[in-house]
Copies of this chain bind each other. A is one copy, B any other.
Amino acid sequence: MQAFSDGLRTAGKTIAFVPTMGFLHEGHLSLMRLGRQKADALVVSIFVNPTQFGPGEDFASYPRNLERDLALIATVGADAVFTPEAAQVYPNGFETCVSLEHLPHHLCGLSRPVHFRGVATVVTKLFHLVKPHLAVFGEKDWQQLQVIRRLVRDLNMDITIVGGPIVREPDGLAMSSRNSYLNADQRPAALSLYRSLIRAVQMVGSGQTRAADIVAAATALIGAHEVNRIDYIAVCDPQTLEPMEEITAPALMALAVKVGATRLIDNIMLEPAAP
């Protein structure tokens, strides 16, 4: 992989990188198209990273379909697809990790304590292997995007991080590989995540600024579906992820909900109405 990227760099080409865990959907493809637009060459990786899954999470059952993924990537056209094996990525004796002190102690990090250390470490490794000029991450995993931005800045990596907007199904459900876990009955419950975000945008648009009210409305809407178990619903500073009580500046509304056994996340930006 490094030799391939060295070749591109020596030829004066810029490299865009889209790291994924595979089981690709239109959200991933949109990130690849963004990468293609912004650089001469595109590298996509597919690696279901074991270290970002906690005990009891869905590492073993995470959906995989390499053949289908490669066919989908071919519709965008990548210069390389990097698919390392876990034993290559974490050989015997591996003992190094990259971790952040503050950003992981919010939102998803609270219920997934090892997750962002796993993400930060594997992304650092993939950056060293792929040597990109820029890397594209989806805004659905907003906290992950902030962790990566911070890590790149803190470790002085010479890589531009680009966020790609959330891509949704026609009904509004944010695209996710984990949507494949949902059965037909759970779909309306899953859709309540997006509906609660839209409701929040409307509330803020009509002048409501108290985060507690907005969270309460979302809690009612999502909680109306018996199958849902709310992990968190938060209104926070989009960069630091610190909670916001009054929406007097653009705020991120983010949530995580277990729909049956399937943990889904979504988020949206809340812009306060002009005074």
Interface of A with B (CB < 8 Å)? 2, 9-10, 12, 93-103, 120-121, 124-125, 128-129, 131, 150-151, 154-158
CB distance from A1 to the nearest CB of B (A): 9
A-B contact pairs, 11 of them (CB 8 A): A2-B156, A95-B100, A95-B102, A96-B99, A96-B101, A96-B154, A97-B98, A97-B99, A98-B98, A124-B155, A125-B154
Prevailing SS type, chain A contact patch: mixed
Q: Which residue in B96, B100, B131, B156 is a CB contact (below 8 Å) of A129? A: B156
CA–CA, A43 to B169, complex, Å?
52
| Contact A95 B150, beta carbon cutoff 8 Å | yes
Closest chain B residue to A156, Cβ basis: B128
| Residues in B whose Cβ lies below 8 Å from that of A156 | 2, 125, 128-129
CB distance from A44 to the nearest CB of B (A): 17
A98, A154, A158 — most chain B CB neighbours (10 Å): A154
CB distance from A235 to the nearest CB of B (A): 21
| Contact B154 A128, beta carbon cutoff 8 Å | no
| Residues in B whose Cβ lies below 8 Å from that of A2 | 156, 158
| Contact A131 B158, beta carbon cutoff 8 Å | yes
Closest chain B residue to A147, Cβ basis: B96
CA–CA, A109 to B12, complex, Å?
43
Q: Which residue in B128, B131, B158 is a CB contact (below 8 Å) of A155? A: B128
| Residues in B whose Cβ lies below 8 Å from that of A155 | 96, 98, 121, 124-125, 128
CB distance from A83 to the nearest CB of B (A): 15
Closest chain B residue to A124, Cβ basis: B155
Q: Which residue in B12, B93, B94, B120 is a CB contact (below 8 Å) of A96? A: B120
CA–CA, A120 to B151, complex, Å?
14
CB distance from A242 to the nearest CB of B (A): 12
CA–CA, A125 to B158, complex, Å?
10
User: A96-B101, A96-B154, A124-B155 are known contacts; what are 8 more A-B pairs with Cβ within 8 Å?
Assistant: A2-B156, A94-B154, A95-B150, A97-B101, A98-B98, A125-B156, A129-B156, A131-B158
